[in-house]
Structure 1
Amino acid sequence: MYSQNLPALRRSNWLQRLILLGLLATGLWLLNGCGGGATDPGAAATGEALVTLTDAEGDFATYTVDVTSITLQKADGSIVETLPNTTRLDFTQYIDMTELITAAQIPNGRYVSGAITLDYTNADIQVEVNGMAVPAQVVDSSGNPLTVYSLDIRLENDRPLVVRPGLPALLNIDFDLSASHDVDTSTPVPTVTAAPFLAADIEPVDEKELRVRGPLVETNIAESYYRVRLRPWYRHDGDFGRARVNITADTEFEVNGESYVGTDGLRALEALGPGTPTVALGTLVPAVHEYTADRVLAGDSVPGYGFDAVRGNITARNGNVLTVRGATVIPRSGSVVFNDDITVTVGDDTLVRKPGDPGVNQGIGALSVGQRVLILGTITSDPAMPGLEMDATQGRVRMRYTRLSGTANSVLPGQMNMTVLAIDHRRVQLFDFSGTGMTPDLDADPNDYEVDTGTLDLGLMTPQTPVRVIGFVRPFGEAPPDFEGRTVVDVAVARALLGVGWGNQGTTAPFIQIDPAGLVIDLDNPDLGERHHIRIGDVVIDLTQLPASPVIVGNSSGRRRFAIMQGHRVQMFRDFDRFVETLTGLLDGSTALRSLYAQGAYDTATNTVHARTIAVHLLSPALQP
């Protein structure tokens, strides 16, 4: 991969003069504090930094803000900007996905910290109140409207971001919405008190798909890749660097509505030529930071090109009219907006595609209640107003993987019945399952939802186990079964979330134990706030109802990330003992802890949270460098 030069370097008059004099090698040698006998001095003096963005779960229907800057800093204090243009992002879209937002060519070296700046001036932040998405006001801890917010992120001392030629360096930024906000929905206009908590790591997020989006630059049939000019989110302009997208014989393509696989798809993309819009979903190989696509959209198959687009979940169906809630609206012209109330009309000419079945038109009968969809059509009303309408009778629908959260009722070979609590993070009470069954008495029942698990190994899964199921809703009018499960996860093992808060003033005595053996929260502390739970999928356990306070320890293997936020700075740790030692020193009797969040596996037998992520928010003064 390669990228454009940074704006700061382009604006540098002295460097431009050196370039004009043919002394670029000397200038870059001075900038990096090194020399060398490389054939291409400019290339040898710079390397590529890939910055990806993801998000942890929160309480928001949409959380759209402008990201105005992402900088990296070396130990000597020199700073480079990696984000060439302001970009507007909805962070709720990154709960189940990671996006490559920039690929910057920057000076080689060891970068020990960074900073990100968010602009809330024109933010669109909505929370769910009684099943409806409602705009909220965002304030800081003093109750003042939040405008521009900058946060410094310091990497662990022995794990800097190393930029060098030949191997792209990776920095993953995680915006933890739960750890960043307190939401009060009791007021007429919900109030969100924000202290944005972002953590960074030099390891990729391996449990989420990575999206790479932008117009085509070139294709290479012989080496099975194409290259794009990055444009994250749904931007139609800007240049955020270059990215190489590798393909395999199994990569699925949809190009201008036609399905292809492997090299045939790459040839179809090549035929459209440079500038063709593309979107890829795939994985990043950690060792070499190479990206391979599982699925590629190109041409007018990309949302917002050729067709207006709506992305959300079907919450009801009446004949050929679908109700879609929690939707992102991507118009061909204008801004991307969130709209929680959309009706879409489909017809016999509507083309319906499904991952894993390239080239097969599923027909509109495949579109049932609960299914997550991306719909291409024509918007016939104001996208920003409630009651939006779309005509997709001559359009296309792409079925997306749908995620169920709940608990197992019964487990049999090839079948699991479950109580569904949420579908793609929306409460199941929003969904009207009328018409989903072969007869009315067979309509899907969220309290006894039948999942066809096929040959999936359900392992030790037992009744009452919190589960997350990924797959597709069965066609409308054909239940039972209600759902085709492709993946079943015991979320108590994979994704338990612990959250505790002590209010805006915090507490100076949050723990009854803090040492390398673990953290134990004092649940009898009078400063304990309203949030004190373990959330497993959509099952919430009140910590005060447990026999004892859980022990929080670092997980013994795999990805680990522990963070301490104080003031506008976050300090990152990978070593649990070092994290605990630093936290112990900061809790000196005068410094208060405001909140703690942990994510990992919850062992009910031992009442232990094996955390791969811990985020604690201390009140000022700020951490020292």
Structure 2
Amino acid sequence: RAGDDITVKGALLKRASGIAAFNVPIVVNLADSTNFSRQASMESVSAGDVSVGQRINAVGSLVAREDDSYQFATDQGSVHLLLTFLGGSLVENSDHLTLALSTINGRTPSIMDFSGTGVSTQFDADPDAYEVDKNGLSTNHIEAASTLKIAGHAKPFGQAPADFIAQSIVDVSALPATLRVSWQEPVATSIDTSTMESLVLHLAGVGRFHHVSQAGAKLDLKSQQNPSIVEFADSPRTHFVLVQNGTRVVHSETSTFLADLDTRVAEGALPAGLEAWGRYDNPENILSAFRTVVRLR
């Protein structure tokens, strides 16, 4: 945000003729005449309440600039502050919750500029130590390193800390998890098969995906201190799938799966991606998987 201009990424434009998705940023201009409101709140809202990361629904007019950029004017329209969703890992539970933030509305915080969010530069929001006002909600049962999904609103621009005011806080640590990794520059050792009980994932050369998802909350595996491990669950339904050249091979035994994977890699195949479903231990960074799919190229 710069003055009364906010830059929106991933905007959807709704018109009577249909919906358009924008890959380029759109600059939304806030004005004194704009009608402001906030979801799940009856309090008065102004332009100053719109801060970095806040999800909005704006009504106004879109103008294309000569430099192929776009500006959205709301001086004769409205801006509605929608509930915003955070995903992250709990670092500290004290007066505020401190999160290692993985996502804001499903997007990585690295694409956002938090400059100006704090009362001074030293208090600008930090995704690695993102402070959440609990707003009277009980969090005594939540332990460090728990995966949290939080709904609420960003603190008004220039008023952090805290960085965010919660409306709901949910610990999703015990819920089923999906681990997904893709390699853009794989090597033969991207997936380590040296043990019979698990796969160790090496994240050098990863592509777009390197996350664990639980109930919509995403954790970035690259931010974890411990190695990423897919452990094979001790269950009759545990199974494995190898995908190569459009062919899928299903294994129900760990030994045959690992032997098949090792043989293919020895013959020149490289890991393109891995998906696994099961229970996730955040502090140890281990997914106990009942289904594992490895894609080779």
TM-score by length of 1: 0.37
Q: How far 1:379 moved relative to its partner?
A: 0.3
Which residue is 2:29 aligned to? Answer: 345
Pairing partner for 1:578 from 246, 249, 252: 252
Q: Could you list the per-position Cα deviations for residues 563-590 of structure 1 after superposition, in whole angstroms to 9, with x for gaps in the alignment?
A: 543333557x8xxx73758745854835
Pairing partner for 1:565 from 243, 268, 280: 243
* Whole-Å separation in 2 of the counterparts to 1:346 and 1:504: 46
Which residue is 2:162 aligned to? Answer: 481
Secondary structure of the 1:565 match is strand
Q: Does 1:440 align with 2:114?
A: no
The amino acid of 2:281's aligned partner reads D
Q: Does 1:519 align with 2:198?
A: yes
Secondary structure of the 1:347 match is coil
Q: Could you list the per-position Cα deviations for residues 36-84 of structure 1 after superposition, in whole angstroms to 9, with x for gaps in the alignment?
A: xxxxxxxxxxxxxxxxxxxxxxxxxxxxxxxxxxxxxxxxxxxxxxxxx
* Whole-Å separation in 2 of the counterparts to 1:583 and 1:607: 23
Q: How far 1:607 moved relative to its partner?
A: 6.3
Which residue is 1:109 aligned to? Answer: none
Pairing partner for 2:281 from 585, 589, 603: 603
* Whole-Å separation in 2 of the counterparts to 1:426 and 1:606: 22
Structure of higher CA gyration radius: 1
Pairing partner for 1:530 from 198, 202, 205: 205
> Of the two structures, which has the highest relative contact order with CA contacts closer than 8 Å and spacing of 6 or more?
2
RMSD over aligned Cα atoms: 4.6
Q: How far 1:391 moved relative to its partner?
A: 0.9
Q: How far 1:466 moved relative to its partner?
A: 5.9
* Whole-Å separation in 2 of the counterparts to 1:511 and 1:551: 10
Q: How far 1:333 moved relative to its partner?
A: 4.8
Pairing partner for 1:364 from 44, 47, 69: 47
Q: How far 1:390 moved relative to its partner?
A: 0.8
Which residue is 2:216 aligned to? Answer: none
The amino acid of 2:50's aligned partner reads L
Pairing partner for 1:400 from 62, 70, 82: 82
Q: Does 1:354 align with 2:34?
A: no
Secondary structure of the 2:150 match is strand
Cα distance change, pair 407–566 in 1 and its aligned pair in 2 (3 A): same
Tell me if structure 1 keeps the 8 A contact 2:240–2:257: no
The amino acid of 1:368's aligned partner reads S
Which residue is 1:309 aligned to? Answer: none
Identity of aligned residues (%): 24
Pairing partner for 2:181 from 474, 489, 499: 499
Q: Does 1:452 align with 2:136?
A: no
Cα distance change, pair 409–342 in 1 and its aligned pair in 2 (3 A): same
* Whole-Å separation in 1 of the counterparts to 2:46 and 2:210: 41
* Whole-Å separation in 2 of the counterparts to 1:396 and 1:505: 51
Q: How far 1:487 moved relative to its partner?
A: 4.0
The amino acid of 1:345's aligned partner reads N
* Whole-Å separation in 1 of the counterparts to 2:69 and 2:179: 35
Q: How far 1:503 moved relative to its partner?
A: 5.4
Which residue is 1:418 aligned to? Answer: 99
* Whole-Å separation in 1 of the counterparts to 2:133 and 2:39: 17
Q: Could you list the per-position Cα deviations for residues 189-222 of structure 1 after superposition, in whole angstroms to 9, with x for gaps in the alignment?
A: xxxxxxxxxxxxxxxxxxxxxxxxxxxxxxxxxx
Tell me if structure 2 keeps the 8 A contact 1:593–1:616: no
* Whole-Å separation in 1 of the counterparts to 2:21 and 2:184: 34
Tell me if structure 1 keeps the 8 A contact 2:31–2:47: yes
The amino acid of 2:77's aligned partner reads G
Q: Could you list the per-position Cα deviations for residues 497-553 of structure 1 after superposition, in whole angstroms to 9, with x for gaps in the alignment?
A: 36375957868x962345xxx433487xxxx9634997462352579x74xx83522
Secondary structure of the 2:252 match is helix
Q: How far 1:451 moved relative to its partner?
A: 0.8
Secondary structure of the 2:125 match is coil
Q: How far 1:600 moved relative to its partner?
A: 4.6
Unaligned stretches of 5+ in structure 1?
Answer: 1-315, 620-625
Unaligned stretches of 5+ in structure 2?
Answer: 213-218
Aligned length: 281
